[in-house]
Amino acid sequence: FFSSLLSWCLCPHKPSPPRRAPRLYGQGSRTSARLECVWLKCKNLSIPLASRQPSTTLCGCVVVMALVGGLPDALRIASLNAAQAKVAGEATAYDARSAPAEASDADNGAGEGEVPKKRTMRTFDRDLVISRLHNPFKDKDVQEVEYPVRPVLRQKSTASQLRSVQKYINAFQYNYLPRTFFNTNKNRPLVRIMDTCKEIIKESLPIRCLEASFLAVYITQELSEVVRIPLSFKTEFDGNFYRHIVILTRHNTKWGSLGLSRKADLMYKTLTFESLADILWDYKVAYEKYHHTVHSFKVGLPISHDSTHSSTPCWKFFAINARTTPWEEVTKLTANY
């Protein structure tokens, strides 16, 4: 049905549409209902999709593509390519017929005695558009921001590798805007989080602590000897509550962390701590230096090194109430973990 609909939209003779749209993928499926809706709306609009005017044909194609938004991506891409090729061909013929015979040499680009060149429809060139973008700060002594360069983690010690990963995360800079640029939903499969990390690397926009934690997991996927454990905080300052998250790293018996924050002592920790309780105490002291009261620590489970893992990482395995629990008991709880 879809092929006959597309031929009805693009064929110059415009054959009559089918009287009834067939059911696809079984009776009552959403795809078949979507196709029926497309056919009925195109019939009611009565748009001359196959007219000689390229703009009218393009509008008709846009309407059809918008209505078929629920179809699979492969069908949409194939139909859009066919529509663009058809529109480009009609535009070339239309421009050749509508060009005035008395056009000046400056308009048609031909000299005396030469045959005027046919004008063709311009296609979208992403690189050309980007190259023509005007930078308003180009001549105002504003330093150019370079793209972060992903570190090479081969032939280095584990501590040096983690230091390079943290340097790479710092290169993205902290996002001080009231909104984020990426999907920060952490309750989804690990493979989807890895897709978000690829988008973060591609766009290279400022990030916050959660996106930095995603990146820390993504970059250290090849470090199979490093255990990555999420650690989140809930603190209070001046009656307001704040949340923060980092990724704990453990290699052999040493502990450290990766992350991003507005304060240097609330993110990266070198691989020098002897136990989980020691690194939690270091974060607690750092928060108290900024007059924050730590309410709770939330420790998750180790994250898989398989980037195609379909399960959701465990971000909270157990929680510690830092206000009411004595630190000796905290040390015992973390030692059992």
Which residues are catalytically annotated? 209, 244, 261
Residue that has been written with the tokens 């992350």 in this structure: 259
User: Which residues lie across from 240 on neighbouring strands?
Assistant: 237
Of 278, 228, 281, nearest to 258 (Cα)?
228
- Locate tokens 């090729």: which residue? 85
CB 8 within 8 A of CB 14: yes
Alpha-helical (H) ranges within 99-228 are 105-108, 126-131, 158-170, 190-203, 209-219
- Find out whether 31 and 25 touch, Cβ atoms under 8 Å: yes
Strand partners, 174: 207
Give DSSP secondary structure letters for 58-115.
HHHHHHHHHHTTTS-HHHHHHHHHHHHHHHHHHHHHHHHHHS-TT--HHHH---TTSP
| Tokens (6 digits) for 72 | 């699979």
Instruction: Identify the CA nearest to 276 among candidates 303, 245, 262, 297.
Output: 297
Number of H helices, E strands in the chain: 11, 6
Count Cβ atoms within 10 A of the Cβ of residue 72 and give its class: 0-12 exposed, 13-18 middle, 19 or more buried. Answer: exposed
Of 206, 209, 251, 249, residue with least CA distance to 229: 249
Q: What is the CA radius of gyration of the chain?
A: 30
